[in-house]
Structure 1
Amino acid sequence: MLVEEIMKTKVITLTPKSTIAEALKILNEHPIRHIPIVNSGKQVVGIVSDRDVRDASPSIFQQDHASDELYNPIHTIMSTPVVTVHPLDFVEEIAAIFYEQEFACVPVVSENKLVGIVTEKDMLYTLIQLTGTNVQSSQLEVKVPDRAGILPEVANIFGKRKVNITSVLIYPYKSDRQYKILVFRFQTMNPLPIKADLKAAGYQVLGPDAEDPAL
């Protein structure tokens, strides 16, 4: 999945000369937490968060003259330089940026101009879609040898039952590189026949067997 498929293209921005008061007004009126700062050429030169803005705003316990702080230019509190991504980057790859840099959002830039933004909420929703948890389904985890052709072999068992697979995830089995875990989500409310077929084929299905002790 590409960034352009999940990014928001309607992005509220400010210029470096905009005031902190303007940023505060935007944050109060819109359900956003970050504002990209762009120059006249729509190039991203900084970014401010709701925390940046509120930390720079005067306390309600301060005197009225402290409100002058709100009219300081936004460039005095913005973060720069800004890490950006491209619309044709893979979502799975930019997830590492969110994790490693602990970002809550990243601007999307094409030809050096702002074209969108991706937030951690967008990433979480995309993960839900990629894993298929947004549709009614069952899930099974199967321990398999890490060798070529194993995925279609296991998937064929689902095919024989005419069961529609909604998503497949693959991850390492603990520290043993000889095995992988295949996580299948599939559209049936009764996974027990598939589970029995997998075991009959010699595959180890992970998880509790309390509901079907005979298998």
Structure 2
Amino acid sequence: MLVEQIMSKDVITLPPEATIESALKLLHEHHIRHIPIVDVLDHVVGIVSDRDVRDASPSILNQQPSFNELQNEVRTIMSSPVVTVHPLDFAEETASIFYEQEFACVPVTQEGKLVGIVTEKDMLHTLIQLTGVHVQSSQVELKVPHRPGILPEVTAVLGKRKVNITSVLIYPCEEDPDYKILVFRIQTMNPLPTIRDLRDAGYEIRWPNVAEMNV
């Protein structure tokens, strides 16, 4: 999945010389948490978060607040330089930026100009789509040897039941590097016949607990 498929294209922006007060109003009016700061050429020169604005706003505990602080330019509180991604970058790779850099959003630029933004909410929605949990289905998890051709072998077993595969996830088996864990979401509310087929084919079922289900 590409970034252009998950990014928001209608991005609220401000110029560097805009006031902190104007940023505060936009954050509240549009219920957003971040505002990219762009120059006259739509180049991203910084980003301001709701936390930046909150930290720069007068405290309600201050008996003599100076509201002139809100008239300062957003350039004085923005984060810069800004990490950006391209519309044709993979969403999965962008997720690693969120994790490693602990970002809450990443602007999307093309030829140096802002064209969109990806937020934590966008990434979570993408995860839901990639894992298929938004579709009514059953999850089957099994342990398989880590060798070429194992995935088509397993899917061939699933194909005998003509069940539709919503998603497939593969991750390492922590206790045994010679094995992988396959997680299938299949569109059936009764996975028991499929589980029997997989077990009869010699695969170890990790989920659901077939012992408890008397499969």
TM-score of the two chains, using structure 1 as the length reference: 0.97
Q: Count residues in correspondence.
A: 214
Structure 2 CA distance for aligned equivalents of residues 154 and 196 of structure 1? 13
Overall identity of the aligned pairs, in %: 69
What are the superposed Cα offsets for residues 139-198 of structure 1, whole Å, 9 maximum, x if unpaired? 001110111111011011111101000000000001422110110000000111110000
Match of 2:128 in 1: 128
Q: Secondary structure at the match of 1:61?
A: coil
Residue pair 2:141, 2:206 contacting (<8 A) in 1 also: yes
Flag structure 1 segments of 5+ consecutive residues without an equivalent: none
Structure 2 CA distance for aligned equivalents of residues 163 and 139 of structure 1? 12
Match of 2:103 in 1: 103
Match of 1:88 in 2: 88
Runs of 4+ in 1 over 6 A off after TM superposition: none
Match of 2:206 in 1: 206
- 1:43-58 aligned at under 5 Å gives the runs 43-58=43-58
Instruction: Report how far residue 27 of structure 1 moved.
Output: 0.8
Residue pair 2:44, 2:113 contacting (<8 A) in 1 also: yes
What are the superposed Cα offsets for residues 119-154 of structure 1, whole Å, 9 maximum, x if unpaired? 011000100000000010000011101111110110
Residue type at the aligned position of 1:185: R
Structure 1 CA distance for aligned equivalents of residues 65 and 173 of structure 2? 62
TM-score of the two chains, using structure 2 as the length reference: 0.97
**Is 2:41 the partner of 1:41?**
yes
**Root-mean-square deviation (Å):** 1.1
Structure 2 CA distance for aligned equivalents of residues 28 and 7 of structure 1? 21
Match of 1:159 in 2: 159
